Chain A
Amino acid sequence: DQQVKQNSPSLSVQEGRISILNCDYTNSMFDYFLWYKKYPAEGPTFLISISSIKDKNEDGRFTVFLNKSAKHLSLHIVPSQPGDSAVYFCAASGRYGGSQGNLIFGKGTKLSVKP
């Protein structure tokens, strides 16, 4: 049973426009959420995170929104750049419960930003 779901395997966006990547989770014990970016032949790199006590966190062109009632988070990239083309993983962690504080990852969304 997938606790973290990224239902869109891929997303294509024009350069300069907004990219919105979505993530849903099922475990209400999750209280910390992260986004990772992964280029081919490299390990995932940390992008941005949000604690469940917040509903928004911003870092430059990247903003993560958290809707706890809907168990949904999203990553907005504005403006999108060709260098943003990568696979984006959503991850969640909970202090209690089965995850034991470890990160549970979604399957990823491949973002393509076209010039």
Chain B
Amino acid sequence: DSGVTQTPKHLITATGQRVTLRCSPRSGDLSVYWYQQSLDQGLQFLIQYYNGEERAKGNILERFSAQQFPDLHSELNLSSLELGDSALYFCASTPGGRMGGYTFGSGTRLTVV
């Protein structure tokens, strides 16, 4: 157990639907990052939050949004889902600052049918 908890582990939904992925960071970590891993692709950075504030944005589609709550857990909202959104979505956390390794959760596997 890495200390980063992601729920649900698996999600199957239809095109056009909306889903919410949840991440609880490791205790004490202020930064949360979301990454997407599609088939045969590396981990693509989506968005970062630090202590409730959006810190950086990567290749995140407009149909996707995220937030970090006062208790530091984060949610990634994916709407108007398309087949191509099927992927593994990872959340990672760090205490803050950029140095050091991220601690990743085990991911949510999203399948859009």
- Which A residues are closer than 8 A to B by beta carbons? 4, 6, 32, 34, 36, 41-46, 49, 89, 91, 93, 95, 100-108
Residues A32 and B104 in contact in the complex (CB < 8 Å), given A43-B2, A102-B56? no
A92 to chain B, nearest CB (A): 11
Which B residues are CB-close (under 8 A) to A41? 106
Interchain residue pairs A-B with the least CB separation, the first 6: A46-B101, A43-B104, A101-B98, A107-B42, A105-B43, A105-B42
Contact B40 A107 (CB under 8 A): yes
Which A residues are CB-close (under 8 A) to B35? 105
B72 adjacent to chain A (CB < 8 Å): no
- Which B residues are closer than 8 A to A by beta carbons? 2, 4, 33, 35, 40-45, 48, 55-56, 58, 90, 92, 98-107
Contact B104 A45 (CB under 8 A): yes
Given contacts A100-B55, A107-B41, 9 further A-B contacts (CB under 8 A): A32-B99, A44-B90, A45-B104, A46-B102, A49-B101, A93-B98, A100-B56, A102-B33, A107-B42
Which B residues are CB-close (under 8 A) to A36? 101, 104
